[in-house]
Structure 1
């Protein structure tokens, strides 16, 4: 065999130019790029060095022979001519990989079989001994690539793909392969930043792949230093002394690198299930002094490097598996952009994304973009300099326009001064709305409330509930009693609907109307429409999602605002339980108030998905548990303790227990007994419901300390309707 060989290095699509640059640096000559591969010429030492040091390659293939072929017989003959006794013992084992088609070979399995037959026939001894096939750990891995009538026959020196460094046994939901992570770091300028002593932080680190690869680059550790078995280990052409020399050199470099003061490399991950697997990966890589992983939310991410360090923030936001849907992802990117602008000024940032459009939502311009592939998924790497001149003020979220503030009043006043074109009843209704708006908008502005009830059947003939959600109006029509002429009821509704846009200065397209009737069973939860439009509103420093179109209720019970604020004030350091949680707005408030943990239980998967989005919108995620289940059954199985419990059950609810239907009047004693059994010493339970005829069982006051607080849980927008709900504060005696 000659001293120089033709080598092929394969890699993920999109890394070819980076791999070519890396391979030249490691000694490969006459380098040429192909799709998902490069080739060049090298001696044996360089081939070994590429195996040991390539951070970007998948396989190192040493070409034995090229030959043209027209059919399967040519393939057999071309392979059979090779002196296989120079490469493999007759008693050895073999695996064959075949790629490409043409020249009469349409099936890669058939092609591999032909190659295997040719090698085995060549090596078969007189006694009939011949190599066996071992697909997992063969002595020799042979690769044949068929390309436009030419066969390229190679030995695979790497064995298992080089991206399998051996440190990552546990993976997250959508893991990046190690060589792709290394490529992203190199493109992001990490080798330069590391050489300058810079820091690295990953706010969504998963199981820590970026962190480990970054530390290996910074500490000058060969990526495959710890690999014990190679494709050349049992190859007869292997030169052990040469390999040992290179391996010892790499070992010495790693020891020297690890002896230097470690760089500040930190990862944060919201999902508590990934923390230990990530730390295990770091430990297996031998980098526990360099890399630290903490549990943390993106919404509160703040690198705190020593001595005011600067460096690189790098992340691969989830593609949807971990945080739900695109809406959640949008908030994730917005939170990320916000944190970069607020906490990482003068750092560099690299965001590797499968959804580049979401990258624009961060509110910072990328100065450079690179295209990559993560498997079959096209991705972009956005490189960002976190500096004020890169901030996109137009795309940053402005404070919500206060639709109930002075602008609206001016608009409303202007409308009122125009000649009235409303019916007498319509004008009367418009006047009432404007009067209510004038009174309530000042309170709403002062309390930073962006959605509230403006009108609730104040005039009995106009049986509507009207809620403002910023610059949207949500109208619910109460079903008229049978004594009212349906035509008159319809005419009044039309009068009111004509008055609403004029009186409030709001576009007609932003008025949503629903009919509210006594709902049987689970009708109250049924989907009314499928427009799927979610609107972000704010209250008490938290952001919440409402859907004005798809369901009878919007996802936010406005009358419970004071209760949610009370929970936020009392939640610090407490374990919070939210039963019949609906969209978990109370849990978001508890998390905002500093709850140690929140657990939210509901039977509806739809509402739990909504709850997950509410939490992620505020930068909260999986430390806030969402449990799907029937509340009564869940409580009976539960053994945990909680310091603060909130229960706001529906009047009726279909479930698998309670004779098929939960009835708040009939079942509230059992419900409260079960819940109080889960209350920690000194804990507080808040119970409320909106059943107009509800009576709290007197026996409860004998067992527990019970205080009715209904009057304290009504804001000015519900002062006209004191029967909207009743509420109690309950403690174990």
Structure 2
């Protein structure tokens, strides 16, 4: 075999340029970029150095043959022509990886099979001995790539991918691969900063990948120094003496590096479940003396107390996966920006993000951006110099003074023109509705309901919490513009209302079908106690699209409370039975509440218990229509607020309020006692009450009487009727 080989180094997409620089420094000659790879020439010593020292490559492939191929037979013959006895014993084990297509081969499994057959046939002995297949840990891993009618046949010297350093046995939900983390550190200038004795901190460190990779660079530790099994370990072309010398050199360099005073490297992680796994990874890497990890969120992380110490802040903020994550992510980026401006003046920062629009919300300009790929996800690396002339800030929003006194002084990121207009509207509404709410003793009310058409949100206040629902924009609206407006609005809400960002909950309200409005959106299980008309109610702002309390029905609930004394009350489609609680509080003789959902009946039970009203309150699980047909009770006061549609698995057929309301009301009126009252409401905007009902009952529409100040600007939020026997 020749001492100069063609070498191909594979890497994640976007790392080719960096890898080219690194490999050239390690001795690769005549190198050039390819897609997700670089190609060059070097000795076996260079190949070993690349395996040991490359922080960016996935694999180091040693090319042993290139040949044209037009079909499966020429592929087989080209592989068979190689003298495989130079590479593998007949009794050895083999794995084949095949990529590309063409030359009549469109199935990679079939291509790999032809390569395997050619190698096995060439090595088969007279006694029938032949290599076995071992996909996990073979003696020889062969790679063949089809490229425009040419087969490139290589031996994989790395074995398992080089990004698998061996220290990260525990990881978080969506970690960066080690070589991508190393590339980000390189682009961020960490080698330069480390050489000058700078510090490194990651305020969202997860299991510590940035920290470990950064410490290995600073301590001159070869990234794969601790790897014991290589692709060349059982390769017949392997030169153990050469490898031993290079490995000993790397070991000596690591010992010298670790003997130096360690740099200041710190990580902070909000999730307590990741702290110990992170520390375990650091321990396995042999860097416990260099790296410290603490529990804390973005607002807690501290740079080194020595004010002369500068360095690099690096982080990979989490990616949103649920509806409503826009708010938490926006506020996370804003908190990060505030912390950088407040505590890291003179430092450099690198933020790796799949949402560069959110990066713009940090209030600091990035002076350079690099495109990367995290798997199939396009990402940007934002490089920032934390200097005063890079800040994009403005004054705090009005109404923020009280909250601002609780924090170290720091300017808020400046709102966009649209965001400031939105903030002004919120403050105007808050002045008007807040005065009304305080006078009426109301703590939960709607502050904003798409008042400005371009900001299609409903914003409700629940005490000191804000519940935001984004109405899904029509398809005619550019999704990017809609997203920018949403972020503008979310940035404005805390500033305009003077509330902490963590008390803003965001959901997206699509057009609902069936029971989707009742489906669980999350599983935090956190309930907030609120008061209304002298009763206490539990709301859940996070787990469902609706919160458990329909704010627009407040006047109707209070009317029921006033009229309930001594009466038998029936609540159909009761949801969380808030109207039942009001009726019981108003002195109802008994209450019966019916709903199909066990979840909401359990919630109803908690609402009643919270008010000490568990006695004489009956909760029934069932399909309302079927229940009414079987029930023989008599009730003095009935409330019905059905969904527009319902198609639960527990009921037969589908309930359609427009189609079925006449039958529903006839069944319910049959249960109404003489002199009794039935209140019927629904929020289907195209609803038309069946005219024949007025021929049988006294029917009065009371919609305008059931709208409080916070819903008068949206009179179509619901319609309501009062029915009595003639």
TM-score by shorter chain over 0.5: yes
| Distance of 2:453 and 2:329 partners within structure 1 | 31
Provide the rounded CA distance (Å) in 1 between the counterparts of 2:69 and 2:470: 66
Could you tell me which residue of structure 1 aligns to residue 45 of structure 2?
Answer: 45
Question: CA offset at residue 304 of structure 1?
Answer: 2.8
Query: Which residue in the other structure is 2:347 paired with?
Result: 347
Residues 21-67 of structure 1 show CA distances to partners (whole Å, capped at 9, x for unaligned) of 00011011111110100111111111100000000000000000111
2:493 matches 1:536: yes
The structural deviation recorded for 1:13 is: 0.7
- Within the alignment, does 1:662 sit opposite 2:620 as a pair? no
- Out of 516, 527, 551, the position equivalent to 1:580 is 527
Q: Residue in 1 aligned with 2:263?
A: 263
**What TM-score comes out, normalization by structure 1 length?**
0.62
**Given the alignment of the two structures, is residue 454 of structure 1 paired with residue 442 of structure 2, yes or no?**
no
- Matched-pair contact (CA < 8 Å) for 1:651–1:664: no
> What's the CA shift for 1:308?
3.5
Counterparts of 1:22 and 1:81, CA distance in 2: 34
CA distances 1:142-196 after superposition (whole Å, capped 9, x unpaired): 0011101111110000000000000111111211110000000001000000000
Q: 1:665 to 1:148 in 2, by over 3 A?
A: closer
Alignment of 1:228-267 (within 5 A): 228-267=228-267
Q: CA deviation at 1:656?
A: 3.6
Cα separation, 2, equivalents of 1:126 and 1:337 = 71
Give the CA deviation at 1:102: 0.8
SS in 2 for 1:536: helix
Whether the aligned pair in 1 keeps the contact of 2:310 and 2:347 (CA below 8 Å) is yes
Q: 1:231-265 CA distances to partner (integer Å, 9 max, x unpaired)?
A: 00000110000000000000000011001000000
- Structure 1 residue 514: deviation in Å? 12
Which of 538, 541, 545 is matched with 2:504 structurally? 545
Q: 1:659 to 1:87 in 2, by over 3 A?
A: closer
- Matched-pair contact (CA < 8 Å) for 1:455–1:467: no
Q: Please state how far the C-alpha of 1:325 moved relative to its aligned partner.
A: 1.1
SS at match of 1:454: helix
1:415-564 equivalence runs, <5 A: 453-455=434-436, 536-537=493-494, 542-543=500-501, 544-545=503-504
Cα separation, partners in 2 of 1:669 and 1:16, compared to 1, 3 Å: same
Q: 1:69 Cα deviation (Å)?
A: 1.2
Which string of whole-angstrom CA distances, capped at 9 and with x for unpartnered residues, describes residues 50-93 of structure 1? 00000000000000011111111111111111110111000000
Q: Are the structure 2 counterparts of residues 252 and 668 from structure 1 closer, same or farther at C-alpha, using a change threshold of 3 Å?
A: same
TM-superposed CA distance for 1:19, in Å, is: 0.4
Write the distance in 1 (CA, Å) between the matches of 2:527 and 2:301. Answer: 31
Question: Per the alignment, do residues 659 and 262 of structure 1 end up closer, same or farther by CA in structure 2, a change over 3 Å counting?
Answer: closer
For 2:143 and 2:379, the matched residues in 1 are separated by: 30
Q: Contact 1:323/1:329 (CA < 8 Å) preserved in 2?
A: no
Query: What's the CA shift for 1:666?
Result: 5.8
Compute the displacement of 1:668 (Å).
3.8
Displacement, 1:606?
3.9
Please say if residues 583 and 607 of structure 1, whose CA atoms lie closer than 8 Å, have aligned partners that are also in contact.
Answer: no
Contact map agreement 1:473 1:510 (CA 8 A) in 2: no
| Counterpart residue number, 1:28 | 28
1:368–1:383 contact (8 Å) kept in structure 2? yes
Residue by residue over 1:430-463, the C-alpha shift from the partner in whole angstroms, topping out at 9 and shown as x without a partner, is: xxxxxxxxxxxxxx99xxx9786222698xxxx9
1:265-285: CA deviation from partner (whole Å, max 9, x where unpaired) = 011111111111111111110
The answer to whether 1:400 aligns with 2:359 is no
Matching residue of 2:19: 19
Give 2:706's aligned residue. none
User: Where does the alignment leave 5 or more consecutive residues of structure 2 unmatched?
Assistant: 402-426, 461-466, 474-485, 511-523, 532-537, 550-579, 584-592, 615-708, 710-726
CA distance in 2, matches of 1:509, 1:36: 42
Q: Which residue matches 1:679?
A: none
Number of positions where the alignment pairs a residue of Structure 1 with one of Structure 2: 509
Residue matched to 1:172: 172
Aligned with 2:116: secondary structure? helix
- Residue 463 of structure 2 corresponds to none
Match of residue 181 from structure 1? 181
In 1, Cα distance between the equivalents of 2:196 and 2:212? 19
Instruction: Give structure 1 stretches of 5+ with no counterpart.
Output: 405-443, 476-505, 516-524, 552-576, 585-598, 611-648, 672-716, 718-733
Matched residue SS, 2:341: helix
For residues 283 and 62 of structure 1, the distance between their equivalents in structure 2, rounded to whole angstroms, comes to 34
Q: Tell me what 2:650 maps to.
A: none
Looking at structure 2, the residues matched to 650 and 29 of structure 1 have their Cα atoms a distance apart, in angstroms, of 80
1: CA distance between counterparts of 2:176 and 2:168?
A: 11
The 5 A counterparts of 1:22-101 are 22-101=22-101
Aligned CA RMSD, in angstroms, stands at: 4.3
